[in-house]
A and B are shown apart, each in its own frame.
Chain A
């Protein structure tokens, strides 16, 4: 056992001035003094967060406006809680810890009882079925410490769209507390997989970003791959193995109509929309290699972007449409390159160990996400658009196909454990701290996030 010993130590500022360096020393001292003075004049204590902490928030069940509204009222609060929690940026309080049962939406909550819970926000709401059969949902977001209202809104819609309202409210909370647009009111298109591994049936499917409201877009007669959302949200482009060569198709979600993109000989694949939704960029196989082409959807004209004896594929536009990132093995192994949207000199940006594929430009423009393969591992990572600051978010066997949420703060990808089991969808925030499985009815792969619906 060691007990604490105390001793008095004189604190001395020791200044030694050598004779030779006296004048120089005096000058330095004067400079230091002026710097200290300037700091004192500025006089602000700097405070940075100790670490990355999710925002604590309390979301009690909404108050039902009538006797039949209890389910919807609870459901809305539940969906909001799930959304915020899954994002990794919020820490919704456990219901068991709630300080007060909110029974009256028009009454100011008892802030004194919420304060000890250290929540930064308290959400109260009410869901009412109106006389005309429509659903009215209201919410207020309170600052518990100051007792002020940070945000409030009300929505009226058909009762079956109550989940959508919950997503919209989630986005508003996200924006109020984080200052950025949310991503909850969005959908994801993916490839639903069912059946045994040797005769897997793959269908295009659409769902809300939280896995609810799954809708199948194709019947599974033909193999589908790499669905991508149009910025208009009404159309999807994907690759399908039909009767002949695999082709890139365009699919309208609302009408169910589909058409082949371009009139290319041979196989076309890995399509993606331009940010304005007017063009589709894709790969076209030509002999043993493939090159990038872009097709204008209005004029139906196609333009060749690359002409190399290598395999160029997985093209993706930058959010401003001025650049393209893509994968190419022109250097030997697949790596990520960036080039102007009009074609021209491509610059390699990935230089790490292993090979890089499926690059995706963040909607915010700050990162490029990729799948990295090496050492028997498939990792999902992000890097800055110049290739620096590479960060692996998750690795293992086998992760692939990242897609950004509309606000660029969360990624979705699929993970295939191998063996007889099939792939599943996961989300992870760009810091890599918070990974969540996305519930899907069956196996799922190749997710693509839509833009915000509203």
Chain B
């Protein structure tokens, strides 16, 4: 096929030629953009960020509130434990597992403590609890008081204060009437404090048991635990912006040159700082160059900057692994926005 043939072919089949040409163009374009995309993929780096969102806040609050459910379980255990201290301890340990379970699980557990409650003199407490749901939440506090009255009022604080606390808790949760079991659980909580006062060994044991589960129940503290460990590839340490920004802030803290002429923006001083590995300045910072309408003002500003650099050392926060990058720090001082 000669060139003439080709030309003739192109003339006679213009549509075909155009179609082929367009296809080649489009396909080539697609190739390009695909390759560009793969090239663009940036290395990801993990940076720890503390974010407090509305959701987190509500979760934190919810954690505190829902924590009562867990506490309820514990409390129930404690009540049961009061008689046999050792048994209580044993029971507390397995309970955390139950805590991790969904909310429905707690319900069966409280039943056991209820059964045990009748044994000790504290069943009186539970009685007020059960009537509580029936009556309004607020009236509850007075109820425990009458129950206690038959006994010596002096004793109120010791065994029945838990009830009062429970009532307080109930007040806090007036909007959640359907949770009688929780309130029951809450009522047992107060006895802990009383037991502390009494220094009763058995109650102490129950206290300790309670504390363990409450720690686990706090959700906020655990989220942050590993937040600052850096990326898996260890690239965070090589982030240059991290030390330079900190260094800028540190020097800025000491640098102040009171100048209020209109030409403040024009003044600049280049200063080199030789650094030691421990973050101190090795020798005198060198004034490399100064710029500005008045050389005497520029020099005074440079001297002021030099004093600031020395005054604010040592800069021990500089990452030692990158000493090479800050062995000689080059700064330019200016008076921008200072009027």
Contacts and interface: CB of A to CB of B under 8 A. Distances in A.
A322 interface: no
A374 interface: no
A363 to B, nearest CB: 13
Contact of B33 (A22, A49, A55, A143): A22
Nearest to A89: B258
A243 B46 CA distance: 89
A248 interface: no
Contacts of B228: 6
A257 interface: no
Contact of B258 (A9, A17, A54, A366): A54
B223 A5 contact: yes
Interface in B311-339: 311, 329-339
B220 to A, nearest CB: 4
Contacts of A177: 300, 303-304
Contact of A49 (B40, B51, B60, B252): B252
Interface stretch (A40-48, A259-267, A352-360): A40-48
A53 interface: yes
B15 interface: no
B260 A409 contact: yes
B44 A10 contact: yes
Given A10-B45, A46-B332, A2 B57 contact: yes
A239 B337 CA distance: 42
Contacts of B36: 17, 22, 26
B287 interface: no
A5 B306 CA distance: 40
A429 interface: yes
Contact of B262 (A53, A89, A115, A366): A366
A350 B21 CA distance: 69
A97 to B, nearest CB: 16
A1 B40 CA distance: 43
Contacts of B338: 48-49, 51-52
B254 interface: yes
A179 B302 CA distance: 10
Contacts of A298: none
A286 interface: no
B335 A49 contact: yes
Given A2-B60, A143-B307, A45 B252 contact: no
A5 to B, nearest CB: 5
A9 B51 contact: yes
B330 A6 contact: no
A337 to B, nearest CB: 21
A51 B338 CA distance: 7
Contact of A11 (B47, B256, B337): B47
Interface string B259-302: 11111000000100000000000001000000000101111110
Interface in A135-187: 143, 145-146, 150, 175-180
A407 to B, nearest CB: 11
B145 interface: no
A213 interface: no
Contacts of B32: 22
Interface string A50-62: 1111110000000
B9 interface: no
Nearest to B333: A47
Contacts of B297: 178-180
Interface string B20-34: 000000000110110
Contacts of A420: none
Contacts of A285: none
Nearest to A19: B33
B224 A6 contact: yes
A364 interface: yes
B310 interface: yes
A120 B57 contact: no
Given A13-B42, A146-B310, A48 B337 contact: yes
Given A12-B44, A179-B300, A45 B330 contact: yes
B294 A2 contact: no
A44 B248 contact: no
A199 interface: no
A427 to B, nearest CB: 14
A178 B141 CA distance: 73
A45 B247 contact: yes
B238 interface: no
Interface string A402-421: 00000001000000000000
Interface in B38-69: 40, 42, 44-53, 56-57, 60
Contacts of A22: 32-33, 36
A250 to B, nearest CB: 34
Contacts of A389: 262
B258 A52 contact: yes
A175 B297 CA distance: 9
A7 B223 contact: yes
Contacts of A53: 256, 258
A132 B331 CA distance: 53
A15 interface: yes
B244 interface: yes
Contact of B334 (A1, A11, A46, A50): A46
A8 B311 contact: no
Contacts of B298: 179
B11 interface: no
A81 to B, nearest CB: 17
A44 B270 contact: yes
B29 A12 contact: no
A146 B36 CA distance: 55
Nearest to A10: B44
Contacts of A6: 48-51, 223-224, 227-228
B205 interface: no
Contact of A146 (B56, B252, B284, B330): B284
A118 interface: yes
A52 B299 CA distance: 18
Contacts of A28: none
Contact of B244 (A45, A178, A409, A429): A45
- Top 9 closest A-B pairs, CB basis? A179-B300, A6-B227, A53-B256, A179-B297, A3-B220, A6-B224, A179-B296, A431-B260, A44-B332
13 contacts: A5-B56, A6-B223, A9-B46, A10-B45, A45-B247, A47-B332, A49-B338, A52-B258, A54-B258, A55-B256, A115-B311, A180-B294, A384-B262
Given A48-B335, A118-B254, 5 more contacts: A5-B60, A6-B227, A10-B46, A51-B338, A52-B258
Interface of B: 29-30, 32-33, 36-37, 40, 42, 44-53, 56-57, 60, 220-221, 223-224, 227-228, 244, 247-248, 251-263, 270, 284, 294, 296-301, 303-307, 310-311, 329-339
Interface of A: 1-13, 15, 17, 19, 22, 26, 43-55, 88-89, 115, 118, 120, 143, 145-146, 150, 175-180, 364, 366-367, 384, 389, 409, 429-431
